[in-house]
Amino acid sequence: MGSFPRPLDAGLPAIITSRDVRASGLSPERLRAQDLDHLDHGIYLRRDATLRSWQSLGLPEPGHQTLPDFLAALLTLHPSGVLSHETAAHLHGIPMPHAPWLHRDPSGYRTSDLPPVHITLPKGTKRIRRSGVVDHRRKLDPLHVTEVHGLRVTTLERTWLDLCALGYPWLLDDLVAAGDHLVKHPWHPGRRLPPLSTVEQIRQAVDQVGQFKGKRLAKDALELVRVGADAPPETKLRLALLRAGLPEPELQCPIDPDDADSPEADLGYEDCRLAMQYEGAGHRTAEQQTRDVRRDRYAAERGWRTLKANVDDQREGFRSFIRQVRRHREEWGKT
């Protein structure tokens, strides 16, 4: 009768590596036991374990479709490695260009491959030759490394700089939207929370890193980052207005500055009493629609006009919306 395999340490993670097994004092043969499934080179799944989902961490499914515990195992195999670029952006909750791997790139080629997991390693280390993983070998200041959900990742500021170096699909507007996300004051019921970062902190990171691919783009994008956009479509509407030659609108513009309870416009022109609201999927609930009706009524009672944009406006680059804005400003004698 064959002997049963030695039990695994209860403290081992759900997805373990050959390095974990050696550290536990187990033999390499232990990896061939039936209570483990071989997932990838050096990576094994414990059959008795419950895997963490992205939903359990409060995050959407990433494009790379790799589970958090697999990323943890990858970092165990590469203890000097740090998750970076889009992988770090997802962990930080930075908004991404919509499903970039399903879009056509500028050359017309339709990409169907899933985006990779990005990991940064020190210069001189051996390359990672693993399907679905892209390694970046470079010097990384320890000050630019943090931990999110138990995973080593680049900091918010360094992650944003790395996104600037990726190129397509990270175009200027997407980078500005990501920057706006970092510096906004997130809405929490009844109040605004402190921002994740500031424009000055991002600028300091640019200076600390020195020369890097995408630095010119990073500087251009940072000049356009503003505090006040609650979502990427609001950023893109603001940028579209500026490119149309219109004045820069105020963000989270109070309808009545003298009223502490005044509702705000996502974007507004006080000089012609124009409130602009972007209404995404979150505005479809009955509760939100009630708030929106009361907000618009409040504005109308004070002589403000409200223009609403949606995803169809965004798809056409806000062209018809901008025509309405321009016409309204002209009626008020404004340019």
DSSP string, 102-138: GSBPTTS-B--SPPPEEEEE-TTSPPP--TTEEEEE-
Position 103 scores a pLDDT of 43
Choose the CATH number for 233-331 among 3.30.70.890, 3.40.960.10, 3.40.190.10, 3.40.50.300: 3.40.960.10
What residue has token string 């929106």?
Answer: 292
What Å distances lie between residue 10 and 24, 49, 70, 193, CA to CA? 11, 10, 18, 39
Long-range contacts, stretch 220-225, CB < 8 angstroms, 24+ apart: 220/172, 221/164, 221/172, 221/175, 221/176, 221/179, 222/179, 224/172, 224/176, 224/179, 225/176, 225/179, 225/180, 225/182, 225/183, 225/199
Residue 18: what pLDDT? 83
Q: What is the dihedral of CA 142, 143, 144, 146, to 10 degrees?
A: 90
Which pLDDT does position 210 carry in this prediction?
Answer: 87
How confident is the prediction along the chain (335 residues), in pLDDT tens digits per residue?
A: 445 677 777 778 888 888 887 888 777 778 788 888 888 888 888 888 889 999 999 999 998 889 999 999 999 999 999 999 999 999 999 999 875 444 444 444 444 467 899 999 999 898 998 889 999 999 999 999 999 999 999 999 999 999 999 988 899 999 999 999 999 999 887 788 999 999 999 999 999 998 999 999 999 999 999 999 999 999 999 999 999 999 999 999 999 999 999 999 999 999 999 999 999 877 778 888 899 999 999 999 999 999 999 999 999 999 999 999 999 999 999 98
For residues 24 and 12, the answer to whether their CB atoms sit within 8 Å is: yes
- Per-residue confidence (pLDDT) for residue 99, from 0 to 100: 53
pLDDT of residue 4: 60
**3-class secondary-structure state, position 16:** strand
Contacting residues for 135 by C-beta, under 8 A, at least 6 apart? 81, 118, 119, 120, 121, 127, 128
List C-alpha distances in Å: 238 to 13, 108, 155, 314. Answer: 46, 28, 27, 11
CB of 45 within 8 A of CB of 39? yes
C-alpha distances (whole Å) from 302 to each of 19, 256, 289, 330 are 67, 8, 20, 20
Q: What pLDDT is recorded for position 113?
A: 62
| pTM for the model | 0.88
Q: Where are the domains of the chain?
A: 1-50, 233-331
